[in-house]
Amino acid sequence: INNASFYLIISAAQNNWLLEFEPVSLQYDIQSSIGRSASSMLSGKSVSAMLKAAAYEVKQLINYDRIMIYKFLDDGHGEVVAEEKEDHLEPFFGLHYPASDIPKQARELYKLNLTRLIADVNTEDSYITTFKQNQPLDLTDGCLRAVSPIHIQYLKNMGVYSSFSISLISHGELWGLIACHNYSSKFIDYKAREGSKLIGQILSSALEYRQQEEDTAIVKQFKDTVASLAEYLNRDKYLLDALTGHSKTILNITAASGAAILFEGELKTLGSVPSEDDIFELIAWIKKSTDESIYYTHRLPEIFHQSKKYKQVASGILACTISKDADEMIIWFKPEQINTVNWAGNPEKSAAVEDNGLLSLSPRKSFEIWAEVVNNTSEKWMPEEISSSLRLKEIIITHINKKANEIRLLNDKLQAAYEELDTFSYTISHDLRTPLTSIKTYSELLMRNDKIDETGRKMLGRVLAS
């Protein structure tokens, strides 16, 4: 157009097509850079090394001042888990940001738009005139769509002039973002943005694979221990000895620091555990609190206040019920982990007071490190640990049922032996009764014979008396 080169970016807008024109500004072949970046990024041996390499490669590609890998945690808040920056900037690595900084609706958009560029926070938005009056134009997939003024003000409060984000998707959900900040306005060429998107997609796939690799190693370790315990159960006479008396025990099927098992009224413990009285009190509380066969928490003192006295060894528990009727149970314990969470400013969302006295949503203005001490919690239970406890439960129940069947078969054999003995006794009794009757009758006849002397009569009397 007018001897200038433009990219034509076409996207769907409901029943229409959206055509966007961007000037071509890239002066080098980006394809070779993308290939090299992907290769370097995937060379990381662990998830953390791969994230660090990804931040470095994105910085090389777009040359922004700060590149952060931002991971969403279970409760929705985020943590900076990798960072590349200019040397004069203060580090954000390890900082936490409240969930309200990126609201749920914004996260849904990040799943649809894998990249988002704000080249200059001071640029004024432009109105759009469409040929359909009074009908809004769908700009969901548009590259030039303006963002929320609250987000613009948020960036200004941080001193950021340009922002670029790349979505990281794992198992269909938003795992995190590659968040890029520049402290002066800076436009990123469309091809560079697409190259960055490709890096994000490669990283997303690699995250799933690498995390699965690490999980598989943990699962194998736990499975091997459960298999060993199954062998011990088949070999040993007593269940408690099999599960607690060898080099591999119930403690080794999780990453817990202590374990206790109550079976047939006997309690056995391993590692760091509360006192016996406290364990029995805890078992009673678990039985009363849940009907589930598996119960776990990483913040027991906040739920069961009596446990605060032994939170140093049992801030987290994983309980597996073997038999509800007999109060038979295995409990694993994790100790308290006192953590200091460094927030980028007070995590409480601020609200501005309008002239009419009402509160309105406004972005945070302070990003100074705000430390929060988190106690009464342990390391969280991994899904692999919960699965491992379920596998052990199945093996124990199978073993108990097998023993019960063996006892039933033994009882059946004893019953059969008793019946045979009864039959034998009846036969002996019947076979002896006939000749004894004849002897008695004959003895009675002899007693009537006057020729029998006194000695003979005494002997016949004894026969008849018996």
Q: Which residue has the higher pLDDT, 434 or 374?
A: 374
Q: Which residue has the higher pLDDT, 15 or 175?
A: 175
Give the side-chain half-sphere CA count within 13 A for 429. 6
Cβ burial 329-357 (10 Å sphere, 16+ → b, else e): bbbbbbbbeeeeebbbbebeeeeeeeeee
Residues 90, 208 within the same domain: yes
Residues 259, 189 within the same domain: no
* Residue 132 placed within a domain: no
The answer on pLDDT for 35 being more than 50 is yes
| pLDDT band for position 373 (cuts 50, 70, 90) | low
Strands 258-263 and 266-271, by their bridges, are: antiparallel
In this structure, what CATH number is given to the domain that contains residue 262? 3.30.450.270
Residues 25, 93 within the same domain: yes
Residues 327, 445 within the same domain: no
Residues 62, 119 within the same domain: yes
Question: Region 9-19: what's the mean pLDDT?
Answer: 85
> Which pLDDT score, from 0 to 100, does residue 146 have?
85
The pLDDT tens digits for 109-136 are 899 889 999 999 999 888 877 777 777 7
* Residue 51 placed within a domain: yes
Question: Region 48-62: what's the mean pLDDT?
Answer: 91
Residues 104, 58 within the same domain: yes
* Residue 363 placed within a domain: no
Phi, psi of 421 (to 5 degrees): -65, -40
Q: For residue 352, give the H/E element and its range.
A: strand 351-353
* Residue 113 placed within a domain: yes
Instruction: Give the end of a domain, one of 321, 338, 355.
Output: 338
**What share of the chain in percent tops pLDDT 70?**
84
The answer on pLDDT for 364 being more than 60 is no
* Residue 370 placed within a domain: no
pTM: predicted TM-score of the whole model, two decimal places: 0.66
Q: Which residue has the higher pLDDT, 405 or 192?
A: 192
Residues 42, 151 within the same domain: yes
* Residue 219 placed within a domain: no
Residues 184, 242 within the same domain: no
Of 172-176, 189-193, 354-358, the least confident: 354-358
* Residue 395 placed within a domain: no
Of 47-51, 116-120, 462-466, the least confident: 462-466
Residues 29, 160 within the same domain: yes
The answer on pLDDT for 185 being more than 70 is yes
Return the bridge partners of 201, or none: none
The pLDDT tens digits for 16-34 are 888 889 888 876 667 777 7
Instruction: Give the end of a domain, one of 338, 355, 370.
Output: 338
From 286, 287, 278, select the one nearest 325 (Cα to Cα). 287
The pLDDT tens digits for 408-457 are 666 767 776 776 777 666 666 665 556 667 777 767 777 777 777 778 77
Q: Which domain holds residue 421?
A: 403-465
> Which pLDDT score, from 0 to 100, does residue 407 have?
67
The answer on pLDDT for 204 being more than 50 is yes
> Which pLDDT score, from 0 to 100, does residue 348 have?
64
Q: For residue 382, give the H/E element and its range.
A: none
Summary mean pLDDT of the chain = 83
Asked if 72 and 175 count as a contact pair (C-beta separation under 8 A), the reply is: yes
Spatial distance between the Cα atoms of 377 and 453, rounded to a whole number of angstroms: 104
> Which pLDDT score, from 0 to 100, does residue 318 have?
95
Domain count, the chain: 3
| pLDDT band for position 307 (cuts 50, 70, 90) | very high
* Residue 231 placed within a domain: no
Residues 63, 204 within the same domain: yes
Spatial distance between the Cα atoms of 229 and 389, rounded to a whole number of angstroms: 12
Asked if 97 and 367 count as a contact pair (C-beta separation under 8 A), the reply is: no
The pLDDT tens digits for 232-278 are 988 888 889 999 999 999 999 999 999 999 998 899 999 999 999 99
Residues 209, 248 within the same domain: no
Residues 119, 11 within the same domain: yes
Instruction: Give the end of a domain, one of 311, 338, 365.
Output: 338
Of 227-231, 299-303, 334-338, 447-451, the least confident: 447-451
In this structure, what CATH number is given to the domain that contains residue 155? 3.30.450.40
Spatial distance between the Cα atoms of 86 and 91, rounded to a whole number of angstroms: 9
